[in-house]
């Protein structure tokens, strides 16, 4: 047993407390929480002192494309659209191999950790070598991601993604060949093999688990969708990110993407719909009635001019809101949290459509639910209740500490610090009770900028 002592903390089921002592068992799970506890010099051996600031559960990044980080600051010069951005993304994706993908993912996961993230759902679709031929070790790309997460100290849910068509009714394009598995049986066979490899190579302590994803209704034919009702674990899908996607689906199938997924039997409480930006009232009802999770990615949706999704309406309909950083145009969980509320204010002309407690739940336990982590792992009976945020006994000690005395946070009420701070104000990050980041630097990998220097050296950006 060991203890950490925090000046202030956010405790389940969503309340603020002062002078909180957290007792950890040998596995880094919270064994006890004591409020009003007297600090001691030995209370936080890794920090060497009582930890000032505000402790929250580690942020959960429910939607990530790791290699998209390589595009940061490289796609803004001539405006463009989502579709022109995608062409640049394909150019980078074509250069990935297991070795350079490991280095790139290690850097991005390390940056996530220093920003306060302790878990990530990696929506992964670059499965094969360029041209679509499997690597000699057919799961080399997935194993590279798993190793990068282990080395970075972040929990990884590898969302193994099915990508079969370039658009509805069209074959994969040349730049998409390495994403595909031929048909749904090819995907299911490869996915089952990946599950076996990960089970053989990893222990629960490694913090890597497997889920699946439907890339989109553009990339997976309607006839293949029902198969995902039988694939275990969390299921994610890009949903109605662009009006063009809805228009193509209506033209091909006579229904919206949400309606198509519902007809296939996959709109349930294990589904996470990513973006969910352009929905009809019926779409919102279907997702809410199913208690699906919605993964909003505010900084990416703003960067790509996707639009503002109906987050409040979805929450009121019964869906659970979570947050992701998607293409990592910035990596700051507090900016994603504020971006959710800012979108609501801009779109609807009203402040406070999400309370601070609801925003923090979206950043933490909403993501846990999306990725089937912690208390929100899918129960055997299918129950997966809506989350309430906060540190709790029985949960891994995944904790981020936000400074309360920085130029950005000074004077803020404790429960509103997340509305003023940025990732720069994250002073300490613990994963299963182990200190993995301190004052912006990774405790084992060192400065993140040096990791990026090594990663970027492997890529030709054509400029």
Residues with active-site annotation: 275, 326
Q: Alpha helices of 28-123 — where are they, by DSSP H?
A: 82-93, 98-115
Residues 6+ apart with CB under 8 A from 261: 214, 217, 225, 237, 239, 267, 271
CA–CA separation, 274 and 215 (whole Å): 10
CA 5, 9, 10, 13 torsion-angle sign = positive
* H or E, element range at 281: helix 281-289
Tokens found for residue 39: 């600090």
Q: From residue 314, how far is each of 28, 393, 420 by CA, in Å?
A: 35, 30, 26
Q: From residue 138, how far is each of 111, 126, 143, 196, 449 by CA, in Å?
A: 28, 12, 10, 12, 31
User: What beta strand segments (E) does 219-351 contain?
Assistant: 235-239, 271-275, 293-296, 320-323
Whether residue 298 contacts residue 255, with contact meaning beta carbons closer than 8 Å, is answered with no
CA–CA separation, 92 and 68 (whole Å): 8
For the chain, report the end-to-end CA distance as a whole number of angstroms.
54
User: If you search the block for the tokens 């909403």, which residue do you land on?
Assistant: 366
Paired with 341 in beta bridges are none
Tokens found for residue 153: 């100290």
Pairing of strands 426-431, 434-438: antiparallel
Residue 439 falls in which region: left (phi positive, over 0), alpha (psi -120 to 50) or beta: left
Q: How many helices (H) and strands (E) does the chain have?
A: 13, 16
CA–CA separation, 254 and 60 (whole Å): 36
Helix, strand or coil for residue 353?
A: coil
Task: Taking each helix axis as running N to C, give the angle between helix 98-115 and helix 448-456, from 0 to 180 degrees, rounded to the nearest 10.
Answer: 160
CA–CA separation, 37 and 39 (whole Å): 6
Tokens found for residue 6: 């925090």
CA–CA separation, 126 and 215 (whole Å): 12
């Amino acid at each position: 047993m060991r203890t950490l002592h925090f000046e202030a903390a956010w405790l389940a089921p969503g309340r603020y407390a002062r002078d909180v002592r957290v007792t950890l068992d040998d596995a880094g799970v919270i064994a006890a929480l004591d409020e009003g506890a007297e600090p001691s010099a030995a209370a936080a051996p890794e920090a060497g002192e009582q930890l000032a600031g505000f402790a929250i559960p580690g942020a959960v990044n429910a939607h990530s494309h790791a290699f998209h980080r390589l595009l940061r600051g490289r796609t803004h010069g001539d405006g463009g659209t989502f579709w022109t951005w995608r062409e640049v993304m394909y150019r980078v994706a074509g250069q990935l191999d297991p070795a350079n993908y490991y280095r790139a993912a290690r850097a991005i996961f390390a940056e996530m950790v220093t920003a306060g993230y302790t878990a990530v759902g990696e929506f992964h679709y670059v499965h094969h070598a360029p041209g679509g031929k499997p690597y000699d070790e057919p799961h080399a790309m997935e194993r590279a991601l798993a190793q990068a997460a282990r080395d970075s100290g972040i929990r990884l849910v590898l969302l193994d993604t099915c990508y079969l068509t370039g658009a509805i009714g069209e074959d994969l394009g040349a730049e998409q060949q390495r994403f595909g598995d031929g048909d749904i049986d090819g995907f299911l066979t490869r996915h089952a093999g990946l599950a076996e490899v990960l089970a053989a190579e990893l222990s629960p302590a490694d913090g890597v688990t497997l889920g699946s994803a439907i890339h989109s209704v553009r990339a997976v034919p309607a006839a293949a969708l029902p198969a995902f009702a039988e694939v275990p674990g969390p299921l994610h899908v890009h949903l109605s990110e662009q009006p063009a996607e809805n228009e193509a689906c209506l033209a091909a199938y006579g229904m919206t993407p949400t309606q198509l997924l519902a007809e296939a039997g996959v709109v349930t409480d294990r589904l996470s719909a990513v973006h969910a930006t352009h929905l009809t009232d019926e779409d919102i009802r279907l997702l809410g009635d199913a208690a699906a999770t919605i993964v909003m990615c505010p900084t990416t949706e703003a960067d790509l001019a996707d639009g503002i999704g109906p987050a409040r309406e979805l929450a009121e309909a019964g869906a659970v809101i979570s947050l992701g950083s998607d293409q990592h145009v910035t990596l700051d969980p507090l900016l994603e949290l504020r971006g959710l509320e800012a979108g609501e204010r801009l779109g609807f002309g009203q402040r406070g459509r999400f309370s601070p407690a609801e925003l923090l739940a979206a950043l933490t336990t909403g993501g846990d639910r999306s990725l089937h982590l912690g208390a929100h792992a899918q129960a055997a009976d299918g129950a997966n209740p809506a989350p309430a945020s906060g540190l709790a006994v029985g949960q891994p000690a995944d904790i981020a500490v936000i400074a309360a005395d920085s130029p950005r946070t000074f004077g803020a009420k404790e429960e509103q610090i997340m509305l003023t701070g940025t990732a720069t104000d994250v002073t300490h990050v613990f994963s299963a009770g182990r200190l993995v980041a301190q004052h912006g630097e990774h405790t084992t990998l060192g400065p993140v900028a040096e990791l990026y220097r090594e990663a970027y050296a492997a890529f030709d950006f054509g400029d």
